[in-house]
Structure 1
Amino acid sequence: MNGRPISGASVGARPRRGSGRARAGLTAVLTAALFAVTACGGSGGDDDKDKNGSGRAKANEPSRAVVTIAPKDGSESVATSGALKITAADGKLTEVEVADTKGNEIPGEIAGDGASWKPDHHLAASTKYKVHATAKDSAGRASAKDTTFTTLTPQNTFIGHFTPEDGSKVGVGMPFSVNFDRGITSPEAVEDAIEVTAEPKVEIRHKWYGNDRLDFRPEKYWKAGTKVTVKLNLDGVEGRPDVYGAQAKTVSFTVGRSQVSTVDAKSKKMTIDRDGKRLKTIPITSGAPGTTTYNGQMVITEKHKVTRMNGETVGFGGEYDIKDVPHAMRLSTSGTFIHGNYWAASSTFGRDNVSHGCVGLRDQRGGGDSKTPAAWFYDQSMIGDVVIVKNSKDKKIQWWNGLNAWNLAWDEWEK
């Protein structure tokens, strides 16, 4: 029995002593490890806190980008061009919106370096605009600014009277022409405010006559079926000092079939070609010696079933005053017409040139006979058709005398 307790004690004591040493060693290791973990953990925790806190702080900092808009918020009587300027410092512009109170936007472009924005064209007069601009700094933080301003109300304005009219159907020779009621001294500003496009697409150039007329045309006659659209964005354009445009509208016209008639003053005949095919040949009479008919390409700009022709209006004194000229179609501003002639003998046409510069076709007084050459040609013609005169002993008509743009070389028209 004694052996069992001793044995038991002996067996039990060793484990306790061994367990104590193990606990002591484990405690020391755990303490050291805890100290080490605490030291590393404490250091790491502080760093993470600083790092995370700093990141949040930077994210919450305001953007360094500064947006500047001129004119100042609430400004009135602002100039329609040159006054609107939007810039960014310590950052780059990312978005700019400028629109009037109706939602009509002013297009513009942000510079490549993001430092500025400028509008593509002038502003309208007497209009309130809203501006919203956003810029971002190098850290991607955004800064925005919103302003409003109102443009000036002009005391003096100008408008442009144009031809052809909106919705017209015209011949292939019709240019688009604008006559301004005030002389323009800033032609480039006006040019930039008028856009003429065509479908199918074709290059269109312009030319000024004096300072109050601006014409547009393609290199060659329009193709039949072409649709031409003109945007007159003249509202707010300063055409001359303190004189502003008052129009903002879109005009469109369609080109009909192609009809080109050629008058040969020598053979005294006129051929009519439609869509490239000969339609008819008609005997004519043109200008007599001393009052010859202009050569060149002319465009029909007016049609009158009956009209009065008085020589005094074109510098001929009292040589003639015919109150009922039938089937008259104007070819020049200076008084050239192609018209019916009932007072000359029928044998005159195709044989003699007896007019004061016009092209005459046989007709009946009053123009009531639809079978006469003049009546037939009148019915077959439309505004914008081309009438070419050749072999006359006269000079070529000036391009500005009527709507006769085709008499000026293409390279003399500005892009």
Structure 2
Amino acid sequence: MRQRLTSRLGRRIAQPLALTTVAAVALAACSTGGKADSGSDTAADDGKNGGTAAIVVTPGADSEKVPVGRKVTVRAQGGSLTSVEVSSPGPGRLSGTWSKDKSVWTSTTPLAPGATYTVRAKGETSGGSALDKTGAFTTEAAKNTFVGEYYPDKGAKVGVAMPVSITFNKPVQDKAAVERKLKVTASPAVEGAWSWMKDRDGKDRIDYRPQKYWKTGTAVTLRMDLAGVDAGGGVYGTQQRVVNFTIGDAVTSTVDTKKKTISVAKNGKTLRTLKVSTGKEGFETWNGTMVVLSKVPSIRMTSSSVGIFGPEAYDLGAVKWDVQLTPSGTYAHAAPWNEGKFGVVNGSHGCIGMSTSDAKWFYDQVHLGDPVTVVNSVDTVATNNGYGDWNVGWETWKQGSSLD
């Protein structure tokens, strides 16, 4: 029967990451004010002006949280600058202008809130000696922030059909700005793409999937550089995440609603073909590919949890060996009440029923991220009903990206 859990299984909320200063160096104040700083730098004794030449940065690392309206100034005392880079992983690199003599660099890009910026500057004295400066500062946090609920978890081993999925707790108006700061890499490399959608709760969600299923043994890394990124409307990101996971064996299952069977293969070799029952008329099992979301050894199944009342109402009590395929309540599970009807009658409200022994065997074979494809049914499962990503053609999927 289709069931719905009261909470999203297999996911966790990614909590905001506390940003700290990097290489806590004190940065010297220039003539515009601020706190003095020795910093991580190289200075030189300049004989022409009788003092020590140095690169001075404002604001400094020992400053309080820096207001976003403030400009960053890098000044070469007793010399000139050759390069300046001020950047943060989320918002990226600041642009700036130079004084005519290249002794001063001033930022022109606004600072992002809740971000840690690293400053790297090089220069030389009037006598030709090298100058070098590295430091960091952190800006004031934004009052309105967003975070992404991401899956899979760090360190997980998942099936070959598992996409990378991020659901945001605030509306994302500037999807391109957010998508640019999300990156997935894989070894071996794959062709993959992000695609935006609305979650079942109406929240903005973005999934990444390869063109074809992942290969067994692939190492995947998700990077979220969202700290200080403006999602539009003054809502700023807070997350810096690196999430690594791996791809396990290729366990694929095919359910044929006409034959009333499920065939299970592992790494291309068929293990078993089992007799099943699927959804009856009016409650047909979703067609297309679904992805295993969770497994529980026992769960109470009631029709009221999926909005079925009246003559079709049911309360099955504790049902064993439950493999969840959609948040809307599609499971593969033991259905001992249908004993003798497997392979003969489709009589469920959408779930895939098996004998208790077969359900236990299936439960032991599959894992999070494994695909279960249903054929010869009706109504293809929606993309956002779990991970229906694989039911979208590749060219159409790529059009869901906000980037050119």
- Do Structure 1 and Structure 2 share a fold, with TM-score over 0.5? yes
- Please state how far the C-alpha of 1:235 moved relative to its aligned partner: 1.8
- Please state how far the C-alpha of 1:156 moved relative to its aligned partner: 2.3
Residue of structure 2 in register with 1:199 after alignment: 187
Q: Work out the CA distance in 2 between the residues paired with 1:299 and 1:122.
A: 41
Query: Structure 1 stretch 202-211 or stretch 286-295: which is displaced more?
Result: 202-211
Query: Structure 1 stretch 297-306 or stretch 311-320: which is displaced more?
Result: 311-320
- Please state how far the C-alpha of 1:108 moved relative to its aligned partner: 4.9
Residue of structure 2 in register with 1:343 after alignment: 337
Q: Contact (CA 8 Å) 2:86, 2:94: kept in 1 or not?
A: no
Pick the aligned partner of 1:208 from 196, 205, 225.
Answer: 196
Q: Report Cα offsets for 1:221-243 as digits up to 9, x if no partner.
A: 10011111111222222224232
Does 2:164 correspond to 1:179? Answer: no
Residues 80-99 of structure 1 mapped to structure 2, 5 A cutoff: 94-98=82-86
Q: Report Cα offsets for 1:173-211 as digits up to 9, x if no partner.
A: 111111112221221221122211111111221111135
Q: Work out the CA distance in 1 between the residues paired with 2:241 and 2:267.
A: 33
Residue of structure 2 in register with 1:239 after alignment: 231
Q: Contact (CA 8 Å) 1:235, 1:246: kept in 2 or not?
A: yes
Q: Work out the CA distance in 2 between the residues paired with 1:97 and 1:271.
A: 57
Q: Contact (CA 8 Å) 2:91, 2:229: kept in 1 or not?
A: no
Residue of structure 2 in register with 1:45 after alignment: none
- Please state how far the C-alpha of 1:348 moved relative to its aligned partner: 0.6
Query: RMSD value over aligned CA atoms?
Result: 4.1
Q: Which letter does structure 2 place at the counterpart of 1:352?
A: V
Q: Report Cα offsets for 1:339-396 as digits up to 9, x if no partner.
A: 111211x221011100101111111xxxxxxxx100000011101111000001x121
- Could you say if the C-alpha distance between residues 249 and 132 of structure 1 is closer, same or farther in structure 2, counting changes exceeding 3 Å? closer
Residue of structure 1 in register with 2:35 after alignment: none
Q: Report Cα offsets for 1:97-150 as digits up to 9, x if no partner.
A: 4378xxx99975999x9x9999999867154x463444689xx99999999764
- Could you say if the C-alpha distance between residues 228 and 119 of structure 1 is closer, same or farther in structure 2, counting changes exceeding 3 Å? farther
- Could you say if the C-alpha distance between residues 142 and 245 of structure 1 is closer, same or farther in structure 2, counting changes exceeding 3 Å? same
Pick the aligned partner of 2:243 from 233, 251, 255.
Answer: 251
Q: Which letter does structure 2 place at the counterpart of 1:408?
A: V
What is the DSSP-based 3-state SS (H/G/I as helix, E as strand, rest coil) of the residue aligned with 2:327?
A: coil
Residue of structure 2 in register with 1:5 after alignment: none
Structure exhibiting the larger radius of gyration computed from Cα positions: 1
Residue of structure 1 in register with 2:268 after alignment: 276
Residue of structure 2 in register with 1:17 after alignment: none
Does 2:382 correspond to 1:398? Answer: yes
Residue of structure 1 in register with 2:28 after alignment: none
Q: Work out the CA distance in 2 between the residues paired with 1:362 and 1:69.
A: 71
Q: Work out the CA distance in 2 between the residues paired with 1:396 and 1:267.
A: 18
Residue of structure 2 in register with 1:325 after alignment: 319
Pick the aligned partner of 1:379 from 343, 364, 369.
Answer: 364
Q: Work out the CA distance in 1 between the residues paired with 2:107 and 2:333.
A: 54
TM-score, L = length of structure 1: 0.69
Q: Work out the CA distance in 2 between the residues paired with 1:349 and 1:120.
A: 66
What is the DSSP-based 3-state SS (H/G/I as helix, E as strand, rest coil) of the residue aligned with 2:380?
A: coil
Residues 11-410 of structure 1 mapped to structure 2, 5 A cutoff: 77-79=66-68, 94-98=82-86, 108=93, 125=114, 127=116, 129=117, 131-134=119-122, 150-210=138-198, 212-317=204-309, 319-344=313-338, 346-363=339-356, 372-392=357-377, 394-410=378-394
Unpaired runs of 5+ residues, structure 1, are 1-58, 62-66, 364-371
Q: Which letter does structure 2 place at the counterpart of 1:350?
A: G
Residue of structure 1 in register with 2:42 after alignment: none
Q: Contact (CA 8 Å) 1:109, 1:117: kept in 2 or not?
A: no
- Could you say if the C-alpha distance between residues 331 and 69 of structure 1 is closer, same or farther in structure 2, counting changes exceeding 3 Å? same
**Larger % of helix: which?**
1
Q: Percent identity, please.
A: 37
Q: Work out the CA distance in 1 between the residues paired with 2:329 and 2:118.
A: 52
Q: Which letter does structure 1 place at the counterpart of 2:388?
A: N
Q: Work out the CA distance in 2 between the residues paired with 1:196 and 1:153.
A: 27
Q: Which letter does structure 1 place at the counterpart of 2:146?
A: F
Q: Contact (CA 8 Å) 1:71, 1:78: kept in 2 or not?
A: no
Q: Work out the CA distance in 2 between the residues paired with 1:86 and 1:125.
A: 21
Q: Report Cα offsets for 1:272-312 as digits up to 9, x if no partner.
A: 11101111100000010111111101100011100122212
Q: Contact (CA 8 Å) 1:106, 1:120: kept in 2 or not?
A: no
- Could you say if the C-alpha distance between residues 179 and 130 of structure 1 is closer, same or farther in structure 2, counting changes exceeding 3 Å? closer
Q: Contact (CA 8 Å) 1:108, 1:117: kept in 2 or not?
A: no
- Could you say if the C-alpha distance between residues 374 and 130 of structure 1 is closer, same or farther in structure 2, counting changes exceeding 3 Å? closer
With a CA cutoff of 8 Å and minimum separation of 6, indicate the structure with the bigger relative contact order: 2
- Please state how far the C-alpha of 1:251 moved relative to its aligned partner: 0.8
Q: Contact (CA 8 Å) 2:165, 2:205: kept in 1 or not?
A: yes
Aligned length in residues: 335
What is the DSSP-based 3-state SS (H/G/I as helix, E as strand, rest coil) of the residue aligned with 1:377?
A: helix
Query: Structure 1 stretch 214-223 or stretch 67-76: which is displaced more?
Result: 67-76
Residue of structure 2 in register with 1:33 after alignment: none
- Please state how far the C-alpha of 1:246 moved relative to its aligned partner: 2.1
Q: Contact (CA 8 Å) 1:272, 1:281: kept in 2 or not?
A: yes
Residue of structure 2 in register with 1:3 after alignment: none
TM-score, L = length of structure 2: 0.71
Q: Which letter does structure 2 place at the counterpart of 1:195?
A: K
What is the DSSP-based 3-state SS (H/G/I as helix, E as strand, rest coil) of the residue aligned with 1:161?
A: strand
Q: Work out the CA distance in 2 between the residues paired with 1:265 and 1:314.
A: 22
Q: Work out the CA distance in 1 between the residues paired with 2:75 and 2:289.
A: 53
Q: Work out the CA distance in 2 between the residues paired with 1:83 and 1:208.
A: 35
